Amino acid sequence: ERLLLHSTLEEKERSTTITLWLAVARALTHAPTWLFASKMFVDCVVMYSNLFFLPMQVQEGFPGISTELGSVVCAIPAVGILLIAPPFGSLMGRSLTRRFIAAWGGPVCAQGVLVSAACCMHMHAPPLATICLLMLSYIICASSVGPFIALVNSTSPHALLPTIIAFANALGHVGGFLGPYALGALHDALPGTCPDANHTTANHTTVTAITTSVQGDEGCVAEWGAGTAIIACAGLLLSLLSGIAAWRCTVRPFLPEQSYQQSSSSRSVEPCVEPIRALPVDLSEHRGQSR
């Protein structure tokens, strides 16, 4: 009966056509639209500010690195996403709860890793460790995009779905432009201090021995520490807040009946969207056909 109700509602929704401007107006007044768009905006600010300056950070961390090897190092995040994102999306896309955990939990973990990278910059840790953390942060955040789109598909009205995804994607790419500008401005306004170039430690000597293709002394990426920390901490806080709101607004109303009733007993506010089961539909005709 529940599956029949779901399919009936989908058929009615697909048969209903609305104009472009009406779809835009309804999408912009649909509360989850702004949660999805703000999440994409924050994620793109963090991801693209991280990725945009990665070649410069690699060059500063390893001054003697060749152009060819530097290009290979900067391509590692793309290869990592290619290998990790498909199985990760398949695993986390099997239920609505998993999609939410991947869509919001992935960026939160990525921003936590980015905070660790900023701490490494301030502590003058070996550049190899810092660069690895930066790349890991990008891979985790980018791999969560697939489950996020699946979550939007599962919780948005069918008639508004293209508009909601387009708006979230557009606002996200605005963040992709603003992120690198913000990190560049913070780099110039709050530059970190690098240790003496002639000062080496045992850890630096070990890393230099491992990185045999790097010539000369190791560089320093501490100048990026303050800006990276500010962007990562701000993104982490905003992701946590939007995640709490998204769980209450877009996920919990669509949970199975038993868990929904249990969570409703402690709910202090009404959900932003109503679950499908709450919509009245006459199933008498369909019951007769199914018999």
| Contact between residue 106 and residue 160 where contact means Cβ atoms under 8 Å apart | no
In the chain, domain spans = 29-192+201-290
Q: What is the reported pTM?
A: 0.76
The whole-number average pLDDT for the span 126-132 is 93
Tell me: pLDDT of 41 over 90.
Answer: yes
Nearest to 141 by CA among 44, 74, 230: 44
Judge contact between 104 and 243, C-beta under 8 A.
Answer: yes
**Amino acid letter, residue 100:** F
Q: What is the pLDDT of residues 194-246, one digit of tens each?
A: 776 444 444 444 444 434 344 345 688 989 999 999 999 999 999 999 999 99
**Per-residue pLDDT averaged across 132-160, rounded?**
92
Answer whether residue 287 shows pLDDT above 70.
no
**How deeply is 17 buried, as exposed, middle or buried, from its count of CB atoms within 10 A (0-12, 13-18, 19+)?**
exposed
Neighbours of 73 (CB within 10 A): 20
* Count of beta carbons in the 10 Å neighbourhood of residue 99: 25
Q: How far apart are CA 139 and CA 110, in angstroms?
A: 8
Q: Quote the pLDDT of residue 87.
A: 94
Alpha helices, DSSP H, located in 16-104: 20-28, 31-52, 54-61, 67-92, 96-100
CB 101 within 8 A of CB 92: yes
Euclidean distance between CA atoms 117 and 114, whole angstroms: 5
29-192+201-290 CATH pick, 1.20.1250.20, 1.10.230.10, 3.30.70.270, 3.40.190.10: 1.20.1250.20
**How far is Cα 160 from Cα 28, in angstroms, rounded to an integer?**
10
pLDDT value of position 188: 92
Q: Please, which residues have CB within 8 angstroms of residue 261's CB and are 6 or more apart in sequence?
A: none
pLDDT at 109 (0 to 100): 96
147 contacts 95 by C-beta, under 8 angstroms: no
